[in-house]
Every structure is written in C-alpha cells, then in structure tokens.
A and B are shown apart, each in its own frame.
Chain A
Amino acid sequence: MPTFAAAEPTASLLTQLTGSSVIGLREGLETGIVVMILVAFLVKSDRRDALRYVWLGVGLALVILVAVFLGIQFGTSTIDSKYAELVAGVASLVAVAIVTYMLLWMSKAAAHLSGDLKAGLSDALATGPFAVFLLAFLAVGREGLETALLMAGYAESVSGGIVPLLGLLVGILVAVAITVGLYFGAVRINFTVFFTLTGTFLVFVAAGILAYGVRAMESYGWLDWLPGHGELAFHLTGYQLDSWYGSILAGIFNFRPDPTWLQVAAWLLYIAIVLPIFLRRQLGGRRAPAARPSDSPTPSESSPSPSQSPSPKGSTHA
C-alpha cells in the first residue's frame, strides 16, 4: 500500500488504526504485566485466597480512573497534564518500593526456610495483604490520571471518527492476550524455576518503572537540582518507539531509545543492587535441596518433594 503521509491532509484510516493500537498495546502492557506477575505469584504459592486483594486494588483503581474520566468529560474542569505526569511519577516510585520490598522479603523468607520455598512464600505474603492490595492498585492506577486524559482525548476526537478508538481497543486486546499468554507460560513451569525467573523478570520491570518515574519527575522539574537532568544519555536513531516492538518493550520494560542520564543511572543502580541480592538468596536457598537428587529443574511442580505436604492446595497452613 503506497503511503501518502506527507501529501494527505489527514492520516489514512490504516495509520489511524495502527497508531492508536500501539498506544493501547503499550498502556495495556504497562498496566497488566505487574498484575499478571502478582497473580502468578499468588497462584503458584497456593495463596488464591489473597487474590481478592489484587482484584480489590485493580477494581478500586479502575473505579477512580473512570470517575476521573467522567469528571473530565462531563465536568467543567480537566487535569493539568504536567500534574498528571507528576502523580504518575510518584506512584511509580511507590510501586517500585513495594515490588522491591515484596521481592526481597519473600526471597529472604524463602532462604531462611530453605527447602520449603512455597511455605516461606506463603508466610511472607501473609505479612503483606496491604502491600498486595496497594501494589495492584498502583500497577493499574499509577498512570490513571494520564490514562483518563488519554481517554478524554479519544472521546472528544471527531477528526478520525471511531477508527482511532477501535485501534486503541485492538491494542488493549493484544496486550491482554500477551499478558494472559505470559501468565500461562509462567504458571506451568517448575515452582523454584518460576520464582527465580519471574523474580528476575520483575527486577527488570521494576527498574523500568523506576526509570519512568525518574523521567516524569525530571519533566516536572523536581530533579532540577541534580546534575545531568534532562540531558539525553544516548539516542538510538532508527528505533521506532511507536512501532509494535517499541510498544511491547515500552509496555513491559518501559524502554525508550532516548533515556536521560538520570534514567540510565537509576536503572543501572537498581539492577546492580537488587538483582544480586535477589539471585544470591535464590541460589543460596536452593543449594540445600539441590543436593538432593530428586530436585532437578526438570520435574514438574506437581511431583511432591519430600518436605512438602501432599495435602491439597490451600490447606497447608490454614
């Protein structure tokens, strides 16, 4: 199909569709990934009863999001976009703090109770239903004000008719499909491997959210006192942020081809500190059971290890 982008007075319907769908994809992944991991953790550690805190957090965030959107759409006021970015930045930092706390706390508990990681995880989770709720709430709601502004933009748009909105929905559906696919992929693998892999994955997701938060605060002017604020560390020319791969990487890892020095520093520091702590505890915690011949990485989760109770899910520590 020939492109008339420069000559056309308005964007073609196809570009309208794809353009909006990449936004939907990115926003959908940004929202869904952390919730997905949280749900996978709870399911894998037999804490389905704690799922309601996840849904409570998600539900509350959605209610607030819709309320703000309706307020903008039908009220006389809107939200200052810079302010929305500041809120997103602060909420991102809080979300990172909770993720880090939960990750390290769980791996610590698991390391202490070496041999029974699942039980350790259960105990660790029991201390933090509030953390579970708040993380779910922030994962969905951290960009809530920005998303409400985005939705208002779509609701008011007349130039492209319904096509951009359709595109947005298509993108969100693809994001949901990817998230659900990752979920089923993740819950199928062996528990110990799952915890190590997902935990490592989560460290990178959290580092991306941290970098996102840093950029938001930079553009609000809260980090003006730091050297190198607002200056780009590098710029990958040719990398398309609004392409499919760009949206997926931005949605999951908050990756962008033109980070500032502060973003890069925050990202690197976070990985350099959190990842070794997490991995050392993980590998340390596994050393004891690894000595046993039965605990090779290959057998599926359902094959009971000697230390685990064979009783059905949920009844172990109730």
Chain B
Amino acid sequence: MRDTFRFPTTAAALGAVAVVVPLALTGCVAKDSAATTLAVTSTDTECNLDPTTAATGSVGFKVTNNGSKVTEFYVFEGSRVLGEVENIAPGVSGKLTVELVKPGTYEVACKPGMVGTGIRQTITVTGEEKTKNEAPADVEQAKKRYLAFVRQEVANLEAATVTFVDAIKRGDYDKARELFGPTRSYYERIEPVAESFSDLDPKIDMRWDDTADGTERFTGFHRIERYLWPPKADEIGDADGKVSPADAANAKKADTTEEIHKAADELLTNVRALKTEVDKPDFTFDTQLFVQGPKALIDEIAKTKVAGEEDRYSHTDLWDFAANVEGSQRLIGELQPIIKKRDPKLMETITKQFDEINAAIDKLREGTGYVSYDKVDEATRKALSAKIDALSATLSKVPAVVMSK
C-alpha cells in the first residue's frame, strides 16, 4: 500500500509544472506596449477618464481607486469584456492594456464594491483598423536565432575590450592602436540593437559632437581613440571628418594618462553592463528593429562613415564600415529563407549588391586590416557611397516582404 502511495508524486509535480508554465507563458503580453495610457480615477460614485480618446491599437489604462470601496475596472466591446482589473483596493492602482483594434466607441465601467453593472463611461477610439501586432512565425524564429548571435557578439566584444583596456593600462599604446578597430567591429556589427540601449550606447560610442563642446563628459571608445591618436595640426578644421578646434583644444587639456585610464575602466564597465542586459533571459528587441536592421546598418555607413567622421582621430573607419556590412549581411542571412520564399528576385538583387560592396571593401584591405581612411581618395569614397545607397534602397523593401503572411 505504501508503494502505491509513493511513486507518482515526482511525476505529478513535473507534470503540473509542465502544464502550468506553458499556461502562464500563453497569457504573456507586453507590459508597456500601449501607445497611449488613459488615467482612470474611480471613486465610490464616479469613474473619471483622462483623456477619453485613444488611437487604435494597444490602449493602456491606469486605474486609481480614490474611493473607500474595493473597485474593479472593465472594458467592453458591446457586451463582451475585452479586459478587466479586479481587486483594486482603496489607495491602490491597477494597470490594464487592451487591444482596441477597431475605431469606434467602447464602453468602460468602474465597479466600486465589485458588484452591479458599475459606473459606465464611453471612450472614443480613432484611426485605422489594426490587425493584432503579430509577426509571422518564421520571422519570430529568425529573430530568436539572431538573438543568439547578438549575445555571442556582445560576449566577444567584452573579451576584446578586456584585452584592449589591459593594453592601455599597461601603457602599450601600439598594441591598443592595433586593437582599436577589431574591438569596435563587434559593436558595429550589432549596432541597431546596441543603440536600442539609449543609456549605454552614448557612454560606449559617443562622439565629441555629442558632448555639447565639452560640457558633457566625453567617454567611450572615441575618447580613448583621441588619446591614442592625438589630433595633428593639419587635421583640425570644421569640415566633416576633421577635428574641430574646440575638440583639439579639449584634447590638449583633458587627455591625461590618468583620465584615459579612468575612461578605459568605464568603457569596460559599460560593455559589461551591456552584456548583462542582453544576457537576461527575457531580453528581446522590437521585431520592427529586426526586420529594418539590415537597412539601418547600411545607412549607418551612409550617414556617418563615408565622410570619415566616425573615427576622425584614427581613420580606422573601414573597420566599422566592414563590420556594419557584415552585421547587415548576417541579418539578411537569418531572413534569407523568408525573403526567398516570398520574393526570390529581391533576394537575388540583395546578394548581388552585397557581393559588389564586399569586393570594393576587399580592395582596401592592408595586412590584417584596412588602409587608413584618410588615404582613400574622393573617387573611391564616392564609388563606395553609390553602392551603399543602391543597397540601402533595395533593403528598404525587406520589412514589408518578410512581414507579409
């Protein structure tokens, strides 16, 4: 008899977990996905909304109970309940996000005391009718694979930064100059994702132009770059890719060994913070960011790198340039089966244009790296720029193609 008592418990416990965990996950919705949030104030006799209008899509409600009774809040479409928050005690607030995809009026209700039909109000929703914001399953799959790549890239970035920072602290500046381009490559390959961290990205990758002429602290890769390649007299000027006079003056004054060691330590701290963020199990990024990523990376080149302003002190721009192209190609690699399935011609064009750009970059290789960008003549820069623009135009078609079902 005891034996019959013993055997099924472990299996039962595992079984319960196996049932409950997917159940919980199925009900997952993004926490702060709502574009607008309506403030609802529930008292014992009133249900006030501010504002009373919203745009179609995800609409958030923050329900504050200022009454003396426990209250509830409901959103109705006709008689159907679209969403509800229960058990809002006096002095407590509850949150709710509801997908209101059709324009029109919707009824909402506060239920002080939790009974009856409640105090009814209407809200007006305007805008186009929206389908629920869901990407096709294969795109979500591709995004998951890409996420693994992002994590790997950031792990590589951390390892490379450790070596880079170590070289600086040892005073081995030749080694540091050699490592600068390759270390940045890891960051540049995943730039759209890295840039989504609006606090860390500036700390890691800010330029002098972002410091408001030195009033903000200049940190990150480019601060160290300026120390490793102090601005020369003939590089100072106001044109793109030149070092501004204020920048050069600041360099003379502020770039001490001590300051640079500090900046190097901070860089490593921030890179590690980035790694912690992307390694979180629930780390994700917007699907739009993912499907627009290939173009965004190529546009990075067109925007800042063709003119040589990104690495204005070291002229290692071609490292970043190549890394952006590689990052974009990596993204396209993940999306390739999907693009091929839905628009085979587009995939052919993309492949051809990447080949052309890679051939052009290969011509600028020198040793294990690339020629200094200030040695690249205007005609070559223009030719590269034209290829970049053409690819960007092609890649702009990618989001619509992959998101169509």
Measured CB to CB, the residues of A under 8 A from B are 3, 5-6, 8-13, 15-16, 18-20, 22-23, 27, 49-50, 53, 56, 60, 64, 68, 71-72, 75-85, 87, 126-127, 129-130, 133-134, 137, 141, 144-146, 149-150, 153-154, 156-157, 159-160, 163-164, 167-168, 219, 221, 230, 235, 239-242, 256-258, 317-318
Query: Which of B12, B43, B45, B84 is in CB contact (< 8 Å) with A130?
Result: B12
Q: Which of B41-81 contact A (CB under 8 A)?
A: 43-45, 64-70, 79-81
Flag if B8 contacts A6 (CB, 8 Å). Answer: no
Chain B residues near A129 (CB-CB < 8 A): 4-6, 8-9
Additional pairs, 16, CB under 8 Å, beyond known A77-B28, A80-B28, A240-B113: A5-B44, A10-B66, A12-B68, A15-B68, A20-B92, A56-B13, A60-B13, A60-B16, A64-B24, A78-B28, A83-B26, A145-B23, A164-B91, A164-B92, A256-B115, A317-B1
Complex Cα spacing A20 to B88, Å: 8
Complex Cα spacing A149 to B63, Å: 14
Flag if A77 contacts B64 (CB, 8 Å). Answer: no
Flag if A153 contacts B95 (CB, 8 Å). Answer: yes
Flag if A230 contacts B79 (CB, 8 Å). Answer: yes
In the A-B complex, list the 9 residue pairs whose CB atoms are closest, starting with the nearest: A160-B91, A11-B90, A83-B27, A16-B91, A19-B90, A20-B89, A15-B68, A242-B70, A19-B89
Flag if B20 contacts A318 (CB, 8 Å). Answer: no
Which of A13, A77, A85, A150 has the most chain B CB within a 10 Å cutoff?
A77
B30 CB within 8 Å of chain A = yes
Complex Cα spacing A127 to B85, Å: 41
Q: Jot down 6 A-B pairs with beta carbons below 8 A, ordered by A.
A: A15-B90, A77-B282, A79-B28, A156-B93, A160-B92, A258-B115
Closest CB-CB distance, B98 to chain A, in whole Å? 9
Complex Cα spacing A85 to B23, Å: 12
Complex Cα spacing A164 to B94, Å: 13
Closest CB-CB distance, A226 to chain B, in whole Å? 14
B114 CB within 8 Å of chain A = yes
Flag if B87 contacts A219 (CB, 8 Å). Answer: no
Flag if A163 contacts B96 (CB, 8 Å). Answer: no
Closest CB-CB distance, B312 to chain A, in whole Å? 37
A68: nearest chain-B partner, CB-CB:
B24
Complex Cα spacing A139 to B292, Å: 48
B94: nearest chain-A partner, CB-CB:
A153
B214 CB within 8 Å of chain A = no
Query: Which of A68, A77, A79, A81 is in CB contact (< 8 Å) with B86?
Result: A81
A47: nearest chain-B partner, CB-CB:
B5
B31 CB within 8 Å of chain A = yes
Flag if A153 contacts B88 (CB, 8 Å). Answer: yes
Q: A64-B20, A77-B282, A82-B81 are in contact. Are A23 and B9 (CB under 8 A)?
A: no
Flag if B9 contacts A16 (CB, 8 Å). Answer: no
Query: Which of B5, B16, B65 is in CB contact (< 8 Å) with A11?
Result: B65
B284 CB within 8 Å of chain A = yes
Complex Cα spacing A235 to B95, Å: 28
Closest CB-CB distance, B17 to chain A, in whole Å? 7
Complex Cα spacing A272 to B179, Å: 81
Chain B residues near A318 (CB-CB < 8 A): 1-2
B116 CB within 8 Å of chain A = yes
Flag if B87 contacts A23 (CB, 8 Å). Answer: yes
Q: A5-B44, A20-B92, A153-B93 are in contact. Are A80 and B29 (CB under 8 A)?
A: yes
Query: Which of B28, B44, B70, B92 is in CB contact (< 8 Å) with A154?
Result: B92
Chain A residues near B67 (CB-CB < 8 A): 5, 11, 15
Complex Cα spacing A200 to B27, Å: 36
Query: Which of A85, A134, A221 is in CB contact (< 8 Å) with B16?
Result: A134
Query: Which of B6, B9, B27, B89 is in CB contact (< 8 Å) with A87?
Result: B27
Which of A6, A78, A81, A167 has the most chain B CB within a 10 Å cutoff?
A81
Complex Cα spacing A318 to B284, Å: 55
Flag if B27 contacts A79 (CB, 8 Å). Answer: yes
Which of B65, B95, B115 has the most chain A CB within a 10 Å cutoff?
B115
Query: Which of B2, B29, B91, B92 is in CB contact (< 8 Å) with A77?
Result: B29
Complex Cα spacing A271 to B61, Å: 40
A7: nearest chain-B partner, CB-CB:
B43
